[in-house]
Every structure is written in C-alpha cells, then in structure tokens.
C-alpha cells in the first residue's frame, strides 16, 4: 500500500529529475532534440513531449482542476514541439503535481479511479493506488529512454538514483 508520503516523495523526485533534464535540454540545439534516435517516440523532443502528455493526462484524472492534453495518444509526441514550449509546460505541470501530492490524505488513497480510455468510449476503473503507481512508473520508464538517448548523443545525464534526491528538491 502506498502512502501520501510516498506520493509526495515521488512528486519531488519527478520535479528534481525534470529540472536536471531542463539543464541539459536548454543547452542543446533544437535539431539535436528533434533527431530521430530510433526510440519508440523517435526523438528526445518526441519522448519528452509524450512523457509530459502522459503526466497531464493522469493529473487531469487525479485532479479535475488540472487541464487534460488536447491531442490524442497518437499525437502525444508532438504536443510540445520545442524545448521552450516543453520546459514551460513541464514546470507548470510539475508544480501542479506537487500541490496535488501535498494535499493527499491516506483516506483518499482508498478510492477507486474511473476514467474513459483515451480515444475510446470505454470506461475503466482501478484502485487509485494502482493508478498513482503506474503514473510514477511511466515517468521513470520514459526518463530512462531519455537518459539513454542523451548518453548516446554525448550529452550530460542527470543523477537518477532516488537515494540522491536532495531534501530541498
């Protein structure tokens, strides 16, 4: 069973990881970010965009005050076509995520979450804890892809071990 403390830690970890990525991404040429690197979402920019798209989608499910992405999954890699657009929305999303996590109570985690699957009319219901765990796992999965692409491109990569998460992150 996950706890509110776990969710807050993972929201902090997410923001810390994304801030480190921003430090590298802002120094790269947009052409290097757009280069097809053979990843599932093609490029670094495509993968960064998809990851943010997924975070926005899940945050809209967790917190109805959060805006959902306007594009469907098959266009998720193009929602944020430039590093500037990505960095701006990434910063805002990470802030909303931290606020949401800070407001969670243990009783909230006992609920189920029901949503309509993207691009369908099919409803799905799962325990909220399952959905939150998937949310953070999805982030880690795609940041691992980004890390590998940055390494292959000769770019600096962020420290990603949770044990190095600064207390003030």
> What tokens were used for 124?
């799905």
CA 59 to chain CA centroid, nearest Å: 10
- Per-residue pLDDT averaged across 50-77, rounded? 89
- Per-residue pLDDT averaged across 53-78, rounded? 88
- 7 touches 104 (CB < 8 A): yes
pLDDT for the residue numbered 118: 77
All structural domains of the chain, each given as residue ranges with its CATH number in brackets, are 4-159 (1.20.120.450)
- 79 touches 71 (CB < 8 A): yes
pLDDT for the residue numbered 68: 87
pLDDT for the residue numbered 143: 95
Question: Which of 55-59, 78-82, 133-137 has the lowest average pLDDT?
Answer: 78-82
Q: What is the DSSP string of 19-84?
A: HHHHHHHTTS-HHHHHS--SBTTBSHHHHHHHHHHHHHHHHHHH-TTSPPPSS-GGGGGGSS-SHH
| Residue in 121, 41, 116, 123 with CA at minimum distance from that of residue 74 | 41
pLDDT for the residue numbered 71: 81
Rounded to whole angstroms, the maximal C-alpha distance in the chain is 47
Cβ-based neighbour number of residue 130 at 10 Å: 12
Residues written for the chain:
169
**Residue-averaged pLDDT of the chain:** 93
pLDDT in tens, 74-123: 777 788 899 999 999 999 999 999 999 999 999 999 999 999 987 788 99
Cβ-based neighbour number of residue 38 at 10 Å: 8
Cβ-based neighbour number of residue 114 at 10 Å: 10
- Going by pLDDT thresholds of 50, 70 and 90, the confidence category of residue 70 is confident
Number of H helices, E strands in the chain: 5, 2
Give, for 113, the enclosing helix (H) or strand (E). strand 112-116
């Amino acid at each position: 069973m996950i706890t509110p403390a776990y969710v807050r830690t993972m929201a902090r970890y997410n923001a810390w990881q994304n801030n480190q990525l921003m430090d590298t991404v802002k120094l790269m040429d947009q052409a290097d970010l757009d280069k097809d690197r053979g990843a599932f979402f093609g490029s670094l920019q495509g993968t960064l965009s998809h990851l943010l798209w997924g975070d926005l989608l899940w945050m809209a499910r967790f917190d109805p005050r959060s805006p959902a992405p306007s594009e469907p999954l098959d266009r998720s890699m193009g929602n944020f076509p430039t590093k500037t657009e990505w960095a701006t929305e990434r910063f805002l999303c990470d802030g909303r995520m931290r606020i949401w996590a800070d407001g969670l109570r243990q009783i909230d985690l006992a609920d189920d979450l029901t949503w309509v699957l993207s691009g369908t009319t099919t409803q799905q219901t799962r325990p909220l804890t399952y959905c939150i765990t998937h949310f953070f796992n999805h982030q880690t999965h795609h940041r691992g892809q980004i890390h590998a692409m940055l390494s292959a491109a000769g770019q600096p990569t962020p420290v990603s071990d949770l044990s190095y998460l600064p207390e003030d992150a």
